[in-house]
Amino acid sequence: MVAISACLFPKWLPDLSKHGNNKTPCSLIFERGKKMGTKTVRLIIAFMLLFSGALFAAKTTIKGYAPGAENLEVRLYKWDDYISFREVLLAHTIVDSTGHFNFTLDVYDKQVIMGFFRIMDFTSPEIYIPASKTYQLEFEKFDYKDPNRIYVPLLSSVSLKYTLKNNDSTDINSLIGKYNYDMSNFLMKLSGMHEGMQAKSIMRPPKAKIDSFSTAMNAKYKSVNNDFFKIYYSYSIANLQLTTYAHSKKYLFDEFLYKRPIFYDNISYMDFFSNYFTDFIYGVSKKIPPFDIKLNVNIKTNLAGLIDSLGKDTLLRNEQLREAVLLLNIRDWYTSITFEQDSLIKILRTYSKTTKFDLQGRIAENLAFMLTRYKSGAMLPKFEFKSIDDLVFTNDSLINKYTYLVFFTTWSHACLSELKVIEQLQENWSDSIRFVAVSMDREPLKLYYFLQENKFSFPFYNFNGNYEVAEQLNIRTYPHCMLLGKDGSIINYCTPIPSEGVVELFEKVAGKKVVTTQGFKVGQ
């Protein structure tokens, strides 16, 4: 029988590990060679029943109303973890003709999922979803096809606002909303700002006032029986204390990290964790030799040696904490010239297969995916683009030829100029490179009118309203060009635009040709 670690319990609950000889209840019950009496058996049964609730999922229902979104798809996402921030689609459905939709989710007891909605490419603020709840949610009326938004690119910052119609004061969304309001007011009062003012420089709040705010919040929410919320506001205040230097890092470590669990699913905890340990291994720690880190990453690619090196800092003596900090730091090392990217990815993939901490193994997998999804050799997500004649272009259409893929908008003059350069490029390169343009306009009909006014000899498609693919491609500026291999894999995710040096890349990949376009050499 595996002993239940005290790290499963929040600080404000009794530390069940503090029995004689430092044994947990389970280890006391199952000591080898001792006969179990009736009372012990009853205790075992009660103990197992107590924790079995965490193993079973309950149903949570979201009944939504989205006026203006009739017949559009509404999608509910979450972040799979708060280190990689990989998005996971939880549910999706079509809004009916009256503007209504329903989601039913499996949520484990004591679990709280932080999710967010998307309709088309517009995103809502977060919603906290506990087990065994029914929410009635209403979005503000919104014109999803407003022609005045033609110049707002996909994945814009336009937010979908909503209200929860039936949540009470004890609901996690109400609690977090009230606390965030208190925190915002506290910070504005200290800075002399008021609501509606533009944020300027905010002076560092005095330690005494931060401590007073912490005391006030503890008193205000003392009677709240919600562990997720207590973790949320406690670590939010800890994060404020950290970023304003109101308390020493040693104090904060002892108070909020030492012998505490890692609350992976609580965004407030993970914000504090990330701020505390950012650049900790290679930059902050004075006890971990930088040479050891570079040696075990760049030269040996030795995960075991790397983890052992981290143990030289007493703050990282805890094995689980040490490995979580390593994952966080690897994420940031990936964009540093100090470390070899391929070595970091190899370490992540090795770690994901060998760690005994399943959740951290998944974080490593997510990091490896997020860091390499646009790297040379990666495959594009599954897509299906459509032409104005209903011809389809899919991943299978990419084989047997290099593909220069151009994502554009019909209203952009810069896009039109580059498309005209492509028209001349393809006359010289079409035998070895396939040229394809994909309109990212929300309204497919715009491509029809665009092609009525502008004639090209290479194929054009619309992204076909597949907002999931748009999200996965993560294209935010246009034109955006990619060069793909003969198997559809990425050669260059962010290729030079046609008028600025793409010919050199073509020559490197497909062989040298002489290409000129109306008086200037493409690439000069």
Q: Can you tell me the distance from the alpha carbon of 409 to that of 418, in angstroms, rounded to the nearest whole number? A: 11
Report the percentage of the chain scoring pLDDT > 90.
Answer: 74
> Which amino acid, one-letter code, is at 232?
Y
What pLDDT, on the 0 to 100 scale, is given for residue 57? Answer: 81
Q: Lowest mean pLDDT of 7-16, 108-117, 139-148, 325-334, name the range.
A: 7-16
What pLDDT, on the 0 to 100 scale, is given for residue 442? Answer: 87
- Would you call 183 helix, strand, or coil by DSSP? helix
Q: Shortest CA distance to 117 belongs to which of 173, 161, 164?
A: 161
Compute the mean pLDDT over every residue in the chain, rounded to the nearest whole number: 86
327, 83 in Cβ contact below 8 A?
yes
Instruction: Give the residue carrying structure tokens 């193993």.
Output: 55
- Fold for the domain defined by 384-521: Glutaredoxin (3.40.30)
Report the percentage of the chain scoring pLDDT > 70.
Answer: 82
Q: Can you tell me the distance from the alpha carbon of 362 to that of 204, in angstroms, rounded to the nearest whole number? A: 38
What pLDDT, on the 0 to 100 scale, is given for residue 28? Answer: 33
Tell me the helix, strand and coil percentages in the chain, rounded to 5. Answer: 40, 20, 40
- From residue 92, how far is each of 4, 116, 120 by CA, in Å? 37, 12, 12
| Mean pLDDT, range 443-451, rounded to an integer | 93
Looking at domain 57-167, its CATH class is mainly beta
Task: Say which residues have a Cβ less than 8 Å from residue 97's Cβ, sequence separation at least 6.
Answer: 70, 71
pLDDT above 60: residue 8: no
Q: Can you tell me the distance from the alpha carbon of 384 to that of 396, in angstroms, rounded to the nearest whole number? A: 10
pLDDT above 80: residue 476: yes
CA angle at 311 for the pair 310 and 313, rounded to the nearest 5°:
80
Q: What is the pLDDT of residues 30-48, one digit of tens each?
A: 333 444 455 455 545 544 5
Q: Lowest mean pLDDT of 50-59, 96-105, 170-179, 344-353, name the range.
A: 50-59
| Mean pLDDT, range 367-395, rounded to an integer | 96
Q: Can you tell me the distance from the alpha carbon of 28 to that of 103, in angstroms, rounded to the nearest whole number? A: 44
Q: What is the pLDDT of residues 190-236, one digit of tens each?
A: 876 555 555 555 566 688 999 999 999 999 999 999 999 999 999 99
| Residue 205: half-sphere exposure toward Cβ, Cα within 13 Å | 27
> Which amino acid, one-letter code, is at 80?
D
Q: What is the pLDDT of residues 135-147, one digit of tens each?
A: 999 999 998 877 6
pLDDT above 90: residue 24: no
Report CA 98 to chain centroid distance, whole Å. 32
What pLDDT, on the 0 to 100 scale, is given for residue 196? Answer: 55
pLDDT above 70: residue 313: yes
348, 330 in Cβ contact below 8 A?
yes
